[in-house]
Structure 1
Protein backbone atom coordinates (compact mmCIF):
# COMPACT_ATOMS: atom_id res chain seq x y z
CA UNK A 1 0.00 0.00 0.00
CA UNK A 2 2.84 2.38 0.93
CA UNK A 3 4.72 1.53 -2.28
CA UNK A 4 1.63 2.27 -4.39
CA UNK A 5 1.10 5.55 -2.53
CA UNK A 6 4.73 6.52 -3.15
CA UNK A 7 4.40 5.72 -6.86
CA UNK A 8 1.20 7.76 -7.08
CA UNK A 9 2.84 10.73 -5.33
CA UNK A 10 5.91 10.54 -7.56
CA UNK A 11 3.73 10.41 -10.68
CA UNK A 12 1.74 13.35 -9.38
CA UNK A 13 4.97 15.32 -8.87
CA UNK A 14 6.29 14.48 -12.34
CA UNK A 15 3.03 15.57 -13.98
CA UNK A 16 3.01 18.82 -11.98
CA UNK A 17 6.66 19.48 -12.81
CA UNK A 18 6.02 18.86 -16.51
CA UNK A 19 3.22 21.44 -16.47
CA UNK A 20 5.32 24.06 -14.68
CA UNK A 21 8.40 23.44 -16.85
CA UNK A 22 6.28 23.78 -20.00
CA UNK A 23 4.92 27.12 -18.80
CA UNK A 24 8.08 28.67 -17.37
CA UNK A 25 11.06 26.65 -18.54
CA UNK A 26 13.80 25.24 -16.35
CA UNK A 27 15.25 28.55 -15.14
CA UNK A 28 11.90 30.23 -14.51
CA UNK A 29 10.40 27.37 -12.51
CA UNK A 30 10.50 27.17 -8.72
CA UNK A 31 10.24 24.09 -6.52
CA UNK A 32 7.51 25.78 -4.48
CA UNK A 33 5.43 26.27 -7.62
CA UNK A 34 5.82 22.60 -8.48
CA UNK A 35 4.85 21.57 -4.95
CA UNK A 36 1.75 23.78 -5.16
CA UNK A 37 0.83 22.31 -8.55
CA UNK A 38 1.22 18.79 -7.16
CA UNK A 39 -0.83 19.62 -4.07
CA UNK A 40 1.95 18.74 -1.63
CA UNK A 41 4.29 20.70 0.61
CA UNK A 42 7.83 21.61 -0.40
CA UNK A 43 9.37 19.25 2.19
CA UNK A 44 7.64 16.27 0.60
CA UNK A 45 8.77 17.41 -2.85
CA UNK A 46 12.38 17.49 -1.63
CA UNK A 47 11.90 14.03 -0.12
CA UNK A 48 11.26 12.63 -3.60
CA UNK A 49 13.57 14.96 -5.55
CA UNK A 50 16.44 16.75 -3.80
CA UNK A 51 16.84 19.45 -6.43
CA UNK A 52 15.12 21.05 -9.38
CA UNK A 53 17.82 19.64 -11.66
CA UNK A 54 17.12 16.06 -10.55
CA UNK A 55 13.40 16.66 -10.99
CA UNK A 56 13.92 18.09 -14.46
CA UNK A 57 16.04 15.11 -15.44
CA UNK A 58 13.34 12.75 -14.15
CA UNK A 59 10.68 14.56 -16.21
CA UNK A 60 12.92 14.43 -19.28
CA UNK A 61 13.73 10.72 -18.85
CA UNK A 62 10.07 9.93 -18.37
CA UNK A 63 9.14 11.76 -21.58
CA UNK A 64 12.09 10.31 -23.50
CA UNK A 65 11.07 6.80 -22.45
CA UNK A 66 7.80 7.40 -24.32
CA UNK A 67 9.43 8.93 -27.41
CA UNK A 68 12.48 6.67 -27.89
CA UNK A 69 10.60 3.41 -28.61
CA UNK A 70 8.43 5.18 -31.21
CA UNK A 71 11.44 6.61 -33.05
CA UNK A 72 13.40 3.37 -32.79
CA UNK A 73 10.48 1.44 -34.26
CA UNK A 74 10.26 3.84 -37.21
CA UNK A 75 14.00 3.67 -37.88
CA UNK A 76 14.08 -0.13 -37.75
CA UNK A 77 10.82 -1.23 -39.34
CA UNK A 78 10.53 -2.46 -42.95
CA UNK A 79 9.24 0.81 -44.39
CA UNK A 80 11.18 2.65 -47.10
CA UNK A 81 13.52 5.57 -46.42
CA UNK A 82 10.89 7.95 -47.79
CA UNK A 83 8.24 6.51 -45.45
CA UNK A 84 10.70 6.70 -42.55
CA UNK A 85 11.30 10.40 -43.22
CA UNK A 86 7.55 11.07 -43.17
CA UNK A 87 6.81 8.94 -40.12
CA UNK A 88 9.80 10.16 -38.11
CA UNK A 89 9.08 13.83 -38.80
CA UNK A 90 5.37 13.54 -38.02
CA UNK A 91 5.86 11.53 -34.83
CA UNK A 92 8.73 13.66 -33.55
CA UNK A 93 7.05 17.03 -34.12
CA UNK A 94 3.78 15.73 -32.64
CA UNK A 95 5.59 14.51 -29.55
CA UNK A 96 7.71 17.65 -29.03
CA UNK A 97 4.58 19.80 -29.45
CA UNK A 98 3.28 18.05 -26.31
CA UNK A 99 6.66 18.31 -24.54
CA UNK A 100 8.19 21.57 -25.86
CA UNK A 101 10.69 21.84 -22.99
CA UNK A 102 12.68 18.80 -24.19
CA UNK A 103 14.85 20.34 -26.99
CA UNK A 104 15.92 23.30 -24.83
CA UNK A 105 16.68 20.97 -21.94
CA UNK A 106 18.79 18.66 -24.11
CA UNK A 107 20.89 21.58 -25.37
CA UNK A 108 21.23 22.99 -21.86
CA UNK A 109 22.14 19.62 -20.38
CA UNK A 110 24.64 18.73 -23.12
CA UNK A 111 26.44 22.04 -22.52
CA UNK A 112 26.43 21.52 -18.76
CA UNK A 113 27.00 17.78 -18.71
CA UNK A 114 28.15 16.26 -22.05
CA UNK A 115 28.00 12.73 -20.59
CA UNK A 116 24.27 13.00 -19.85
CA UNK A 117 23.03 11.73 -23.24
CA UNK A 118 25.80 9.10 -23.42
CA UNK A 119 24.70 7.75 -20.05
CA UNK A 120 21.09 7.69 -21.23
CA UNK A 121 22.10 5.77 -24.35
CA UNK A 122 24.04 3.20 -22.35
CA UNK A 123 21.16 2.68 -19.91
CA UNK A 124 18.26 2.70 -22.37
CA UNK A 125 17.73 -0.33 -24.62
CA UNK A 126 15.18 1.62 -26.67
CA UNK A 127 17.59 4.45 -27.53
CA UNK A 128 17.20 5.11 -31.29
CA UNK A 129 19.58 3.06 -33.44
CA UNK A 130 20.48 4.29 -36.92
CA UNK A 131 22.18 1.18 -38.31
CA UNK A 132 19.26 -0.07 -40.43
CA UNK A 133 18.41 3.46 -41.59
CA UNK A 134 21.99 4.01 -42.77
CA UNK A 135 22.05 0.69 -44.64
CA UNK A 136 18.74 1.52 -46.34
CA UNK A 137 19.99 4.94 -47.42
CA UNK A 138 23.19 3.45 -48.87
CA UNK A 139 21.20 0.71 -50.64
CA UNK A 140 18.73 3.19 -52.18
CA UNK A 141 21.63 5.34 -53.39
CA UNK A 142 23.20 2.31 -55.11
CA UNK A 143 19.84 1.48 -56.70
CA UNK A 144 19.47 5.04 -58.02
CA UNK A 145 16.41 5.75 -55.88
CA UNK A 146 18.10 8.48 -53.84
CA UNK A 147 20.71 11.08 -54.69
CA UNK A 148 24.14 10.51 -53.13
CA UNK A 149 23.94 11.70 -49.52
CA UNK A 150 25.60 10.72 -46.30
CA UNK A 151 23.05 8.92 -44.08
CA UNK A 152 24.24 10.67 -40.93
CA UNK A 153 23.90 14.06 -42.63
CA UNK A 154 20.40 13.14 -43.78
CA UNK A 155 19.37 12.21 -40.25
CA UNK A 156 20.88 15.42 -38.85
CA UNK A 157 18.90 17.40 -41.43
CA UNK A 158 15.67 15.68 -40.41
CA UNK A 159 16.34 16.26 -36.73
CA UNK A 160 17.50 19.87 -37.14
CA UNK A 161 14.57 20.98 -39.26
CA UNK A 162 12.18 19.39 -36.78
CA UNK A 163 13.81 20.76 -33.61
CA UNK A 164 14.83 24.31 -34.52
CA UNK A 165 11.36 25.96 -34.45
CA UNK A 166 10.86 24.81 -30.86
CA UNK A 167 14.25 26.06 -29.70
CA UNK A 168 13.97 29.37 -31.54
CA UNK A 169 10.26 30.03 -31.00
CA UNK A 170 10.62 33.68 -29.78
CA UNK A 171 12.99 34.52 -32.65
CA UNK A 172 10.78 32.90 -35.28
CA UNK A 173 7.65 34.62 -33.94
CA UNK A 174 9.43 37.99 -34.04
CA UNK A 175 10.89 37.52 -37.52
CA UNK A 176 7.67 36.21 -39.05
CA UNK A 177 5.42 38.51 -36.99
CA UNK A 178 3.00 35.75 -35.97
CA UNK A 179 1.01 35.19 -32.77
CA UNK A 180 0.82 31.96 -30.74
CA UNK A 181 -2.14 30.60 -32.68
CA UNK A 182 -0.39 31.07 -36.02
CA UNK A 183 2.85 29.63 -34.65
CA UNK A 184 1.00 26.50 -33.54
CA UNK A 185 -0.39 26.13 -37.06
CA UNK A 186 3.10 26.57 -38.52
CA UNK A 187 4.39 23.79 -36.26
CA UNK A 188 1.48 21.55 -37.24
CA UNK A 189 2.17 22.19 -40.94
CA UNK A 190 5.84 21.29 -40.48
CA UNK A 191 4.88 17.66 -39.90
CA UNK A 192 4.50 17.44 -43.68
CA UNK A 193 6.50 20.51 -44.80
CA UNK A 194 9.79 19.18 -43.40
CA UNK A 195 9.23 15.72 -44.85
CA UNK A 196 8.29 17.11 -48.28
CA UNK A 197 11.33 19.42 -48.30
CA UNK A 198 13.75 16.62 -47.42
CA UNK A 199 12.18 14.04 -49.73
CA UNK A 200 12.23 16.43 -52.69
CA UNK A 201 15.91 17.13 -52.02
CA UNK A 202 17.01 13.47 -51.93
CA UNK A 203 14.79 11.74 -54.49
CA UNK A 204 16.27 11.15 -57.92
Structure 2
Protein backbone atom coordinates (compact mmCIF):
# COMPACT_ATOMS: atom_id res chain seq x y z
CA UNK A 1 0.00 0.00 0.00
CA UNK A 2 1.37 3.42 -0.97
CA UNK A 3 1.58 5.82 1.94
CA UNK A 4 -0.18 9.10 1.27
CA UNK A 5 2.07 12.11 1.65
CA UNK A 6 1.07 14.64 4.31
CA UNK A 7 0.48 18.29 3.56
CA UNK A 8 3.55 19.10 5.65
CA UNK A 9 5.74 16.71 3.64
CA UNK A 10 4.72 18.27 0.33
CA UNK A 11 5.06 21.90 1.47
CA UNK A 12 8.43 21.19 3.14
CA UNK A 13 9.72 19.54 -0.02
CA UNK A 14 8.62 22.51 -2.11
CA UNK A 15 10.32 24.91 0.33
CA UNK A 16 13.59 22.97 0.36
CA UNK A 17 13.73 22.69 -3.43
CA UNK A 18 12.81 26.36 -3.90
CA UNK A 19 15.56 27.37 -1.47
CA UNK A 20 18.16 25.44 -3.46
CA UNK A 21 16.96 26.79 -6.80
CA UNK A 22 16.86 30.39 -5.60
CA UNK A 23 20.47 30.01 -4.42
CA UNK A 24 21.58 28.45 -7.69
CA UNK A 25 19.60 30.51 -10.22
CA UNK A 26 18.46 33.60 -8.34
CA UNK A 27 14.86 34.75 -7.95
CA UNK A 28 14.37 35.88 -11.55
CA UNK A 29 16.05 32.75 -12.92
CA UNK A 30 13.74 30.38 -11.05
CA UNK A 31 10.21 29.72 -12.26
CA UNK A 32 7.30 28.02 -10.52
CA UNK A 33 7.56 25.27 -13.13
CA UNK A 34 11.23 24.75 -12.22
CA UNK A 35 10.28 24.37 -8.56
CA UNK A 36 7.40 22.03 -9.38
CA UNK A 37 9.55 19.79 -11.59
CA UNK A 38 12.41 19.58 -9.09
CA UNK A 39 10.09 18.90 -6.14
CA UNK A 40 8.01 16.26 -7.92
CA UNK A 41 4.86 18.34 -7.57
CA UNK A 42 3.02 20.61 -9.99
CA UNK A 43 2.24 24.29 -10.41
CA UNK A 44 -1.20 23.83 -8.85
CA UNK A 45 0.39 22.40 -5.69
CA UNK A 46 2.69 25.39 -5.33
CA UNK A 47 -0.11 27.89 -5.88
CA UNK A 48 -2.30 25.99 -3.42
CA UNK A 49 0.30 26.01 -0.65
CA UNK A 50 2.04 29.33 -1.32
CA UNK A 51 -0.12 31.24 -3.84
CA UNK A 52 2.87 32.65 -5.74
CA UNK A 53 6.61 32.37 -6.27
CA UNK A 54 7.09 35.64 -4.42
CA UNK A 55 5.26 34.37 -1.32
CA UNK A 56 7.44 31.27 -1.38
CA UNK A 57 10.51 33.46 -1.66
CA UNK A 58 9.34 35.65 1.24
CA UNK A 59 8.95 32.65 3.56
CA UNK A 60 12.46 31.41 2.80
CA UNK A 61 13.91 34.90 3.10
CA UNK A 62 12.24 35.52 6.46
CA UNK A 63 13.60 32.25 7.88
CA UNK A 64 17.16 33.01 6.81
CA UNK A 65 17.03 36.69 7.74
CA UNK A 66 15.70 35.94 11.23
CA UNK A 67 18.52 33.50 11.91
CA UNK A 68 21.16 36.01 10.81
CA UNK A 69 19.64 38.92 12.72
CA UNK A 70 19.25 37.00 15.98
CA UNK A 71 22.82 35.75 15.94
CA UNK A 72 24.30 39.15 15.12
CA UNK A 73 22.08 40.88 17.68
CA UNK A 74 23.11 38.44 20.41
CA UNK A 75 26.77 39.09 19.62
CA UNK A 76 26.54 42.89 19.51
CA UNK A 77 24.58 43.12 22.78
CA UNK A 78 26.83 40.69 24.66
CA UNK A 79 29.20 41.69 27.47
CA UNK A 80 32.31 40.06 25.99
CA UNK A 81 35.47 42.19 25.65
CA UNK A 82 35.22 44.62 22.74
CA UNK A 83 37.79 43.08 20.40
CA UNK A 84 36.42 39.60 21.17
CA UNK A 85 32.95 40.89 20.34
CA UNK A 86 34.11 42.30 17.00
CA UNK A 87 35.84 39.03 16.12
CA UNK A 88 32.70 37.07 17.09
CA UNK A 89 30.60 39.48 15.00
CA UNK A 90 32.72 38.81 11.91
CA UNK A 91 32.83 35.06 12.60
CA UNK A 92 29.03 35.01 12.94
CA UNK A 93 28.61 36.42 9.44
CA UNK A 94 30.94 33.79 7.99
CA UNK A 95 29.29 30.94 9.91
CA UNK A 96 25.72 31.94 9.04
CA UNK A 97 26.46 32.82 5.41
CA UNK A 98 28.31 29.54 4.92
CA UNK A 99 25.25 27.69 6.22
CA UNK A 100 22.68 29.94 4.51
CA UNK A 101 24.39 31.30 1.37
CA UNK A 102 21.01 32.42 0.03
CA UNK A 103 20.80 35.34 2.49
CA UNK A 104 22.84 37.88 0.44
CA UNK A 105 20.96 36.87 -2.71
CA UNK A 106 17.63 37.29 -0.96
CA UNK A 107 18.60 40.68 0.46
CA UNK A 108 19.79 41.88 -2.96
CA UNK A 109 16.50 40.72 -4.47
CA UNK A 110 14.51 42.55 -1.78
CA UNK A 111 16.51 45.73 -2.38
CA UNK A 112 15.63 45.57 -6.08
CA UNK A 113 12.10 44.19 -5.86
CA UNK A 114 10.66 45.54 -2.62
CA UNK A 115 12.90 47.93 -0.66
CA UNK A 116 10.01 49.08 1.54
CA UNK A 117 9.40 45.50 2.63
CA UNK A 118 13.05 45.07 3.56
CA UNK A 119 13.01 48.30 5.57
CA UNK A 120 9.89 47.11 7.39
CA UNK A 121 11.54 43.79 8.23
CA UNK A 122 14.54 45.63 9.66
CA UNK A 123 12.50 48.12 11.68
CA UNK A 124 10.39 45.32 13.17
CA UNK A 125 13.58 43.97 14.76
CA UNK A 126 14.53 47.31 16.37
CA UNK A 127 18.03 47.76 14.89
CA UNK A 128 18.32 51.15 16.61
CA UNK A 129 18.56 49.47 20.01
CA UNK A 130 21.42 47.29 18.77
CA UNK A 131 23.35 50.20 17.28
CA UNK A 132 22.71 52.28 20.39
CA UNK A 133 24.35 49.57 22.47
CA UNK A 134 27.21 49.30 19.97
CA UNK A 135 27.70 53.08 20.11
CA UNK A 136 27.86 52.88 23.90
CA UNK A 137 30.48 50.14 23.72
CA UNK A 138 32.54 52.18 21.27
CA UNK A 139 32.34 55.25 23.52
CA UNK A 140 33.50 53.16 26.50
CA UNK A 141 36.49 51.81 24.57
CA UNK A 142 37.42 55.24 23.20
CA UNK A 143 37.40 56.59 26.75
CA UNK A 144 39.72 53.75 27.82
CA UNK A 145 42.00 54.49 24.88
CA UNK A 146 41.72 51.00 23.35
CA UNK A 147 40.19 52.08 20.01
CA UNK A 148 39.85 55.09 17.73
CA UNK A 149 36.58 56.99 17.74
CA UNK A 150 34.43 55.58 14.93
CA UNK A 151 30.67 55.89 14.32
CA UNK A 152 28.85 52.60 14.92
CA UNK A 153 27.27 52.78 11.46
CA UNK A 154 30.71 53.06 9.83
CA UNK A 155 32.04 50.05 11.72
CA UNK A 156 28.91 48.10 10.85
CA UNK A 157 29.09 48.94 7.15
CA UNK A 158 32.80 48.10 6.98
CA UNK A 159 32.26 44.68 8.54
CA UNK A 160 29.09 43.94 6.59
CA UNK A 161 30.56 44.78 3.19
CA UNK A 162 33.81 42.89 3.79
CA UNK A 163 31.97 39.78 5.00
CA UNK A 164 28.99 39.66 2.65
CA UNK A 165 30.62 40.48 -0.70
CA UNK A 166 32.62 37.21 -1.01
CA UNK A 167 29.40 35.22 -0.51
CA UNK A 168 27.19 37.39 -2.70
CA UNK A 169 29.55 37.05 -5.67
CA UNK A 170 30.72 33.52 -4.91
CA UNK A 171 29.70 32.06 -8.28
CA UNK A 172 31.33 34.87 -10.23
CA UNK A 173 34.52 34.75 -8.14
CA UNK A 174 34.87 30.99 -8.61
CA UNK A 175 34.63 31.34 -12.39
CA UNK A 176 36.94 34.34 -12.67
CA UNK A 177 39.59 32.81 -10.39
CA UNK A 178 39.08 29.33 -11.89
CA UNK A 179 38.75 27.69 -8.48
CA UNK A 180 36.74 24.73 -7.24
CA UNK A 181 34.08 25.02 -4.52
CA UNK A 182 36.50 23.43 -2.05
CA UNK A 183 39.28 25.83 -2.97
CA UNK A 184 36.96 28.80 -2.62
CA UNK A 185 35.86 27.64 0.83
CA UNK A 186 39.53 27.60 1.82
CA UNK A 187 39.87 31.13 0.45
CA UNK A 188 36.89 32.23 2.56
CA UNK A 189 38.46 30.75 5.69
CA UNK A 190 41.65 32.72 5.08
CA UNK A 191 39.65 35.81 4.10
CA UNK A 192 37.83 35.83 7.44
CA UNK A 193 41.15 36.08 9.27
CA UNK A 194 42.24 38.92 6.99
CA UNK A 195 38.99 40.78 7.59
CA UNK A 196 39.47 40.47 11.36
CA UNK A 197 43.05 41.76 11.06
CA UNK A 198 41.95 44.64 8.81
CA UNK A 199 39.13 45.74 11.12
CA UNK A 200 41.38 45.49 14.18
CA UNK A 201 44.04 47.59 12.43
CA UNK A 202 41.46 50.25 11.68
CA UNK A 203 40.24 50.30 15.27
CA UNK A 204 43.55 50.45 17.11
CA UNK A 205 44.61 53.97 18.17
What secondary structure, in the 3-state scheme, does the structure 1 residue paired with 2:79 have? Answer: coil
Partner of 2:22: 21
8 Å Cα contact 2:76/2:134 also seen in 1: yes
Which structure would you say has the larger RCO, counting Cα contacts within 8 Å and 6 or more residues apart?
Answer: 1
8 Å Cα contact 1:121/1:127 also seen in 2: no
Q: Which digits, 9 at most, give the CA deviation of each residue in 1:65-98, with x for residues without a partner? A: 2222111100111012211211111111121122
Partner of 2:36: 35
TM-score, normalising length: structure 1: 0.86
Distance 1:21 1:172 in 2: 18
Distance 1:128 1:57 in 2: 25
8 Å Cα contact 1:31/1:52 also seen in 2: yes
8 Å Cα contact 1:13/1:34 also seen in 2: yes
8 Å Cα contact 2:27/2:109 also seen in 1: no
Classify 1:43/1:61 alpha carbon distance in 2 versus 1 (closer, same or farther; 3 Å). Answer: same
8 Å Cα contact 1:173/1:179 also seen in 2: yes
Instruction: Tell me the C-alpha RMSD between the 2 structures.
Output: 2.3
Aligned length: 200
Classify 1:151/1:73 alpha carbon distance in 2 versus 1 (closer, same or farther; 3 Å). Answer: same
Classify 1:171/1:45 alpha carbon distance in 2 versus 1 (closer, same or farther; 3 Å). Answer: closer
Partner of 2:11: 10
How far apart are 1:202 and its partner, in Å?
Answer: 0.8
Partner of 2:3: none
TM-score, normalising length: structure 2: 0.85
Partner of 1:64: 65
Equivalent runs, 1:49-198 vs 2, <5 Å: 49-124=50-125, 129-173=130-174, 176-198=177-199
8 Å Cα contact 1:14/1:55 also seen in 2: yes
8 Å Cα contact 2:87/2:196 also seen in 1: yes
